Amino acid sequence: MKHIVTVTLSPVVDKSTKVDRIEPDQKLACDEPLFEPGGGGINVSRGLKRLNVNSIAVFPSGGLTGQLLQDLLKAEHINQVPILTEKMTRENFIVVNREVHEEYRFGMPAVELLPKEEREILSTIKKLVPKPKFMVVSGSMPPGASDDFIAKLARVCKEDDIKLIVDTSGEALANAVNEGIYLLKPNQKELSKLTGIEVKDKQSVEAAAQQIIDKGKCQVVVVSLGPDGAYVASRGYSEHIPAPDVEKRSTVGAGDSMVAGMVYALDKGWELKDVVRMGIACGSAATMNAGPELFRKADAESLFEKLK
């Protein structure tokens, strides 16, 4: 049976807590901390699990924090292939101020990925049996990662007829697009950099997305528009899909939840218009929860029915 593989080059353990109020120079009494596994691809795997779809999460893992990350994924019954690294996996910190309903997010620097560790990740992916149907590379690129890593991965996917889905940024994203991938999920800023078109409204989003499609570098482009939903383009089809109106409590994990929803629908063989609606439903459902918590399945299904 074919499966789904997610790749996270910059994983993290998210530690969150709440306080009654935040004051300088005071000892603040925090709630018991909540630890959750994080990082783009890892969150996609976690989102898929909420939709009752199994995947395999591949990621670098180092030190005590890396072991905690593995333990947290094991507790969520996520299949994993950790690549042991010399440097300790990073940890992020999130504090919710109850008094004014504000959320403070402290992101620690990404951990350097050594060349030998990058080679081991690529080698591990090449050896996966059976070959996956979909591969998702999501999240930021860490220091030390080569700009052509995802391009190398794209070549592997083409050789093995794997549909590669990419949600990252920077030079690595540009190289991946030039190599050719199945689905690209940029935001407006990333789309501008890729095409040289100033993306500022729906018309320019459409022009930029179609430019990528017309060059034959991607089969599907899904542009995240935040509260305005998403724009989807493929050869012969394009549509702007608005986001549902929900009470937002946190945007943490919304983008990864959107990717999880789309991969779930793609794996089920849904039409592209419903694939993106499911993605928007999962992303919007994630914003309904406080802190780093992802979406709830019931919320996502309810929003999807409304979007249909």
**How many angstroms separate the CA atoms of 17 and 189, rounded?**
31
- The type of residue at 159 is E
- The type of residue at 17 is T
**How many angstroms separate the CA atoms of 12 and 32, rounded?**
19
**Tokens (6 digits) for 88:** 């300790």
CA-based torsion, 148, 154, 155, 157: positive or negative: positive
The CA radius of gyration of the chain, in Å to the nearest whole number, is 19
Q: Which residues are catalytic?
A: 256
| 305: Cβ contacts below 8 Å, ≥ 6 apart | none
244: number of CA atoms within 13 Å, CB side? Answer: 25
**How many angstroms separate the CA atoms of 54 and 39, rounded?**
17
**How many angstroms separate the CA atoms of 169 and 186, rounded?**
8
Describe the crossing of helices 202-214 and 188-195 by its angle, rounded to 10 degrees. 50
**Tokens (6 digits) for 190:** 């990333």
**Tokens (6 digits) for 69:** 């990350």
